[in-house]
Amino acid sequence: MFDIWRKVCKSYGFEEYDGPFIESFDIYAAKSGEEIVNEQLYSFEDRGGRKVAIRPEMTPTVARMVAQKHKELTWPVKWFSIPNLWRYEKPQRGRLREHFQLNVDIFGDENVTSDFEVINIAVDIMKAFGATSKTCEIRISNRRLIDDIYDLFEIPDNKKSVVSKCIDKIRKVTPDEFQDLLSNSSQLTSAQIDYITKFLQDPKPFMDRLSKDSRGTKEIEQLIGLFEKSENRLYVKFDPSIMRGFDYYTGSVFEQFDLNPNNTRSMYGGGRYDDLVDEFIDTKIPGVGWGMGDVTMKLFLENWKLLPDITSSIEYFVTLWPEDKENKFFSASNKISNELRKLGKSVDSYLTPNTKLDKQLKYADKKDIRNVIIIGDKEIESESITVKDMSTGKQETKRFDDFLNGLK
């Protein structure tokens, strides 16, 4: 999985970086969502009395790194990383939770062309795993658009965040439950609730009522327009109910969904965060990116039977002659393993002296290694080896030099 992640990111000219596992508590307190900071963060005081936290996500770290290095970098910056992250997740109380996440970000460009690029990387990764547009989809919205719509509906500032939280839950409740949720938690007027419901069903008429300068409208239309002209068009769509939990998103937001008909689930997401780097320096550096977790991805690939068969990458197994008083056979086997390694082969050599050949062959079989090389008394004398093909059972004795030359 990591190999495919790396390959696609590199095909887009993105560079891999690493960041520290522990950060000052404050960088999460400032911008990550409340739920993460209050309930899921591993934080503690270090020996110097500073409050620190184990990273629950990578975005604040990469924003800080970009801020600190901004004078040395070539702009725009296109970076990816596969960090391990920790969250103390409630449903699994009693278990420490770690996962790996591919993070892909562009810093220093505020155009939707960059949003388009990072989303395309996500789509290309799915395609590289063998996924089609029938199995997954990326749904896109825009925070600026939602803000304009809230203003259009005259929703007061202090209620916006509650309304957004309700919209975020829309896929998990019935339409009636959604209306109840909105009215109970936000105390909007019934007209406002009606507007929001209609907007989510069909946003176009409401977007047409916004000013022509509405940046959110322009951005979402441009971004969807770019996809319509691209070969990944079937993998993305506009969905105004996409919200994302993090407080730091400012423009495009998106989530990828598993289209499993029995269980449509959000897999991960991302978005544009144009104000996050400002937390660390005075210069404004816009950013856009996403984080794709290994656990969710594995589940998706399993469900759609896209996980590749893991066959052994070990090409040769070199046995150790069972009776070997002076390590004569060990040194002979070792020499053969080393010659094969010099040719770039992956070679597992048996190391435990005085083990019956049967047991050694069983080991090779369990480890799914196809070619076994046997060296005994006769073989040493004639400078030859016996090569056994474990899948056919056939074996053949060859001069060692001939065998090596054949491989070259």
Q: Answer whether 317's CB lies under 8 Å from 357's CB.
A: no
Omega within 30 of 0 (cis) for the link into 76: yes
Out of 86, 178, 238, 273, the residue judged to bind its own copies by CB under 8 A: 86
If you search the block for the tokens 């984080």, which residue do you land on? 291
**Residue 105 interacting with its own copies (CB under 8 A):** no
**Residue 296 interacting with its own copies (CB under 8 A):** no
Out of 164, 237, 266, 363, the residue judged to bind its own copies by CB under 8 A: 363
CB of 396 to its own copies, least distance (A): 22
Out of 31, 64, 78, 272, the residue judged to bind its own copies by CB under 8 A: 78
Strand partners for 45: 51
CB of 348 to its own copies, least distance (A): 3
Token pair recorded at residue 400: 């060692």
CB of 363 to its own copies, least distance (A): 6
Number of Cα atoms under 13 Å in the Cβ half of residue 173: 15
**Residues 369 to 398 in contact with its own copies, rule: CB under 8 A:** 369
- Written as one letter, the residue type at 389 is D
The alpha carbon of 233 is separated from its chain's Cα centroid by a whole number of angstroms, namely 21
**Residues 226 to 255 in contact with its own copies, rule: CB under 8 A:** 226, 229-231
The interface region with its own copies, picked from 9-17, 182-190, 238-246, 389-397 by CB under 8 A, is: 9-17
**Residue 113 interacting with its own copies (CB under 8 A):** yes
**Other CB atoms within 10 A of residue 161 CB:** 11
Nearest partner of 19 among 88, 121, 105, judged by Cα: 105
Token pair recorded at residue 152: 């259009």
Nearest residue (CB) to its own copies, 305 versus 356: 356
The side-by-side arrangement of strands in the sheet containing 347-349 is 347-349, 316-318, 371-374, 384-389, 395-399
CB of 146 to its own copies, least distance (A): 24
- Please name the helix (run of DSSP H) or strand (run of DSSP E) that holds residue 258, with its range, or none: strand 252-258
The interface region with its own copies, picked from 68-76, 133-141, 180-188, 251-259 by CB under 8 A, is: 68-76
Spatial distance between the Cα atoms of 407 and 240, rounded to a whole number of angstroms: 59
CA-CA-CA-CA dihedral for 291, 292, 296, 298, to nearest 10: -160
The Cα angle at residue 98 between residues 81 and 137, in degrees rounded to 5: 60
Nearest residue (CB) to its own copies, 109 versus 239: 109
**Residues 121 to 150 in contact with its own copies, rule: CB under 8 A:** 124
Helices (H) and strands (E) in the chain, counts: 16, 17
CB of 59 to its own copies, least distance (A): 18
Binding mask 23-62 for its own copies (x = CB under 8 A): -------------------x-xxxxx---x-x--------
Contacts for 226 with CB less than 8 Å, ≥ 6 apart: 112, 113, 116
The interface region with its own copies, picked from 98-106, 169-177, 204-212, 250-258 by CB under 8 A, is: 98-106
Nearest residue (CB) to its own copies, 69 versus 335: 335
Binding site for its own copies (CB under 8 A): 10-13, 18, 20-22, 42, 44-48, 52, 54, 74-76, 78, 84, 86, 88, 93-94, 96, 98, 100, 106, 109, 111, 113-114, 116-117, 124, 222, 225-226, 229-231, 313-314, 317, 320, 327, 330-331, 334-335, 338, 341, 344-349, 351-353, 363, 366-367, 369
